[in-house]
Structure 1
Amino acid sequence: MALLAGKVVCITGSSRGIGRACALESVKHGATGLILHYYGDPETQAEIESLQKEIEINQKPCRIVAVPGDIADPGTATKIVEQGLQTFSRIDVLVSNAGICPFAEFLSMPHSVWERTRQVNLDGSFYITQAVANVMKNQIPQGGAIIGVASISALVGGEMQCHYTPTKAGILSLMQSCAVALGKYNIRANAVLPGTIATDINKDDLSDVEKRENMIKRTVLGRLGAPDDIAGPVVFLASDLAKYVTGASLLVDGGLFVNLQ
């Protein structure tokens, strides 16, 4: 079933992890256009090229526009939208995914770590959401779907994440308020809250075998999440199956949050 047939999907932080999985799942479900944002250093450049090749190998009829830039810079959001519109003339779905999590101890954390984390995770989400929402408001037919990738960390704390958890709570709140502000334009805004997903953002933290095993034991399903575990729910929220879902938060954590005992 092609849930995103004919849709143009914009994804920030798309070169790896959850963003990459969302790109592949979108194509699998019929998206005909992808606007793929990536940071733009040599590593992410190589990753985005390999993603494009992977899509081509699967012989999916999908046009791709790749846009580099620091999402913390509002000019990057402008560039993403401009290049997307030049190619596709519309944007149907936004997956605001780009984020960082430099684990740090609270009392000794340099203010620059707090500032950079906020700028990338929260400011970047605001800039791209505002820019794409203006496109969705003005295009014909009007409307679209926005999905903010928050985190279970929007709901719970973490000793080494005092700078990170507030940004994810902010993304959750941003999506809730955008749902209210944008509903009159037929724009839906929802948040997906991943639990512990094995990606580059936490690979160093999860390299501690004992910590990794403890995290696995805390889940109900007995495993860590994979990026494609998040991509499916994102596609659902982007699709017409969720046409009456807005302002919602979907926790995708393998039962981590409810497993108190």
Structure 2
Amino acid sequence: MMLLAGKTVLVTGASAGIGRAVAIGCARQGAQVAINYNSDVAGAEAVVAEIEAGRGQAIAVRGDVADPAAATDFVERAVAAFDKVDVFVNNAGICPFHAFLDMPAETLERTMQVNLHGAYYMVQAAANRMVAQGHGGSIIAMSSISALVGGEFQTHYTPTKAGVLSLMQSTAIALGKHRIRCNALLPGTILTDINKDDLADAMKRRQMEARIPLGRLGRPEDLVGPTVFLASDLAEYVTGAALLVDGGAFVNLQ
């Protein structure tokens, strides 16, 4: 039995990395999928093609999540294609590593706009549609272990992920009366394009792996199961929760 049969799932930032894996994983569980992407046309087309090759249905909608208009456009185009929004996965994010003391204002502002403001606009647009539909829904946001711990070259990034976690906690309260569940996933170090340059240092990578009880860095596919669970009816009494998906890294920091 497919856990998301009959559901429509929207995923932001889904042309690569975690978003790509989640979009394809949800489709394999029976969902119709709409993906958002900003610039990677080939990547977005490849995701749609892979879903369709598995006899699923998918569309790709281009838009910069930092633009409030992109949120309403994404939701409206998903509804035009699939009639409804059952699950919304806020995944889009950036992390241009940079030192704190000389952080360019434009780097800080862009990171805030994409990661936090973009999450707010997108979640708000999806929630409004779910409220109008009247049958509840599930909103899942990719926060990060960085919401709980600091990073020397992530002083602009970690506050946004803490903000995304807080957004899910507050929207869980605001939207509970509409039977809309809001939860956060907190990935640890996942091998994606965001950190591939940082992890190119073999010694640094080995040191990071040594701190993880499960003995390896994460893969985008490691977020599929937790997302599907929170999206499905199996989690119908789960809201306001934060689930670490980090191989045990957070509890092994001493």
Normalising to structure 1: TM-score of the pair?
A: 0.96
- Name the amino acid aligned to 2:37: Y
Quote the RMSD (CA, aligned, Å): 0.9
1:192-231 aligned within 5 A:
192-231=185-224
1:45 corresponds to 2:41: yes
How far off is 1:236 after superposition? 0.6
- Name the amino acid aligned to 1:165: T
C-alpha contact 2:51 2:57 (8 A) present in aligned 1: no
Corresponding residue for residue 72 of structure 2: 78
1:1-150 aligned within 5 A:
1-31=1-31, 33-39=32-38, 41=39, 44-58=40-54, 60=55, 62-140=56-134, 142-150=135-143
In 2, distance between residues paired with 1:182 and 1:56? 33
C-alpha contact 2:165 2:242 (8 A) present in aligned 1: yes
In 2, distance between residues paired with 1:215 and 1:4? 35
How far off is 1:26 after superposition? 0.3
User: Per-residue CA shift, 1:191-229, capped at 9, x if unaligned?
Assistant: 000000000010010001111111111100000000010
Corresponding residue for residue 146 of structure 2: 153
How far off is 1:63 after superposition? 2.2
**Unaligned ranges ≥5, structure 2:** none
Q: SS in structure 1 opposite 2:252? A: coil
Aligned residues: 254
User: Per-residue CA shift, 1:3-50, capped at 9, x if unaligned?
Assistant: 11110000000000000000111011111x2111000x2xx1001111
Corresponding residue for residue 186 of structure 1: 179
Corresponding residue for residue 247 of structure 2: 254
C-alpha contact 2:94 2:111 (8 A) present in aligned 1: yes
In 2, distance between residues paired with 1:127 and 1:108? 29
- Name the amino acid aligned to 1:12: T
Corresponding residue for residue 171 of structure 1: 164
How far off is 1:56 after superposition? 2.3
In 2, distance between residues paired with 1:207 and 1:260? 22
In 1, distance between residues paired with 2:129 and 2:50? 29
Q: SS in structure 2 opposite 1:202? A: coil
In 1, distance between residues paired with 2:106 and 2:79? 34
How far off is 1:69 after superposition? 1.0
**Unaligned ranges ≥5, structure 1:** none
In 2, distance between residues paired with 1:210 and 1:63? 43
Q: SS in structure 1 opposite 2:237? A: coil
In 1, distance between residues paired with 2:143 and 2:253? 21
- Name the amino acid aligned to 1:51: V
How far off is 1:258 after superposition? 0.6
User: Per-residue CA shift, 1:76-125, capped at 9, x if unaligned?
Assistant: 00110111111122100000000000000000101111100000000000
- Name the amino acid aligned to 1:153: S
Of 220, 228, 241, 1:235 maps to: 228
Normalising to structure 2: TM-score of the pair?
A: 0.98
In 2, distance between residues paired with 1:93 and 1:236? 11
Extract structure 1 runs of 4+ deviating beyond 3 A: none
C-alpha contact 2:48 2:60 (8 A) present in aligned 1: no
